[in-house]
Amino acid sequence: MLAGMRGAFITGLLALALAGGACQSDEEATPSTSPTPTVTGKGPRSPTPTDGAESTPTPARTPNSDPILRLVDEVLFRDLNLRITVAREQIEVVMVEEHEWPDRCLGLVPPESCLLPIEPVSGYRITLRANAEDYIYHTSREGGYLFAGTPGGLNTVLERAKYYLVHEAGIDAGQIEVARVEEIIWQSACMGLPSGDGQCPPTGAGPGYRITLRAGGQDYLFHADRMGSAKRVHNTPD
């Protein structure tokens, strides 16, 4: 009987040992779920699942990626900086309107007065703002442009022309009337007038006005730009 009990005991131990070995094998077969440590420093590293995966970068929005901002940066800013002293960061684009201009004068003079090719031109009417003032440009899509002045610019030059007649010619303001206003494109900053030093820089070329004021039966002619400058020309014949 004792021998039988001893045999059963040994048999039980063997069964437990075999079961423990099976459990250990199952645990070793289970993959580890611990995170892969971050590799820092130089030297080779094991490839990750995302290595080599193709990704599509998001393009950065820079001034040169936008045709309007490119036109402002490369063309209009330089022109406006010749007219007023302003830093590029002080200029903002407040409005852009697409336009189909009737000719290469970009809608700034009547077609019969345009000396440039009479053909439709696709472009923009761009309003820039600097120092709390608005400045308007007419442009083509290819980068051609003309300065169109400021809102109310014609009224400004008319008032300055009248001011000249009142304070320089001694004419009563109540006698002054506007006889004629012609839109014109001046070929230089001299606006068709002789320069004191005989030189007229082309940087001031652009659209303007030929204004005729009348007082006491006499006509007075002024040449003006679209920035508010008006220059007396001479008395015209009756």
pLDDT in tens, the chain (238 residues): 444 444 544 444 444 444 444 444 444 444 444 444 333 334 444 444 445 444 444 444 444 568 888 888 888 988 898 888 888 889 999 999 999 999 999 999 988 888 888 899 999 999 999 999 999 999 999 889 999 999 988 999 999 999 999 999 899 999 999 999 999 988 877 888 877 666 776 666 788 999 999 999 999 999 998 888 888 886 554 4
The amino acid present at 148, given as its one-letter code, is A
163 phi, psi to nearest 5 deg: -60, -40
How many Å apart are CA 11 and CA 216, to the nearest integer?
138
Distances (CA, A) of 8 to 13, 16, 19, 22, 73: 9, 13, 17, 21, 97
pLDDT value of position 234:
66
Domain regions of the chain by residue span: 63-149, 153-236
User: Could you tell me if 222 and 230 are in contact, meaning their C-beta atoms sit under 8 angstroms apart?
Assistant: yes
How many Å apart are CA 159 and CA 230, to the nearest integer?
9
Q: State the sign of the Cα–Cα–Cα–Cα dihedral 209, 210, 214, 220.
A: positive
CA triple 128-134-135, angle to 5 deg: 65
pLDDT value of position 15:
47
User: Could you tell me if 105 and 141 are in contact, meaning their C-beta atoms sit under 8 angstroms apart?
Assistant: no
Q: Is the pTM of this model over 0.85?
A: no
